[in-house]
Amino acid sequence: MCLAVPMKVLEVEENVARVDIGGAGKTIRLDIIDKRPEVGDYVIVHAGFAINVLDEKEAEITLGYFKELFAHDSEAH
């Protein structure tokens, strides 16, 4: 199963961006996204590529779901 995850853009240089999710940084590609993100934007990332710019409120809601899911998963172990 694959997931696309919202990540916050920290830096943009040419077709590469540095993004963050929960304090973990990652470098991603911007080759296939339709709207170039700016620093502070959230993007949906799948397989190392930004695929869509996401509204900040929508990103925060989605990230909240992930936190809730992981909290329940850790309680099961």
Amino acid identity of residue 31, one-letter, is D
For residues 37 and 8, what is the distance between their CA atoms, to the nearest angstrom? 10
**Could you read off the pLDDT of 25-66 as tens digits, one per residue?**
999 999 999 899 999 999 999 999 999 999 999 999 988 888
pTM exceeds 0.85? no
Domain boundaries, the chain: 5-76
* Domain 5-76 falls under CATH 2.30.30.140: yes
- Tokens 């900040």 correspond to 56
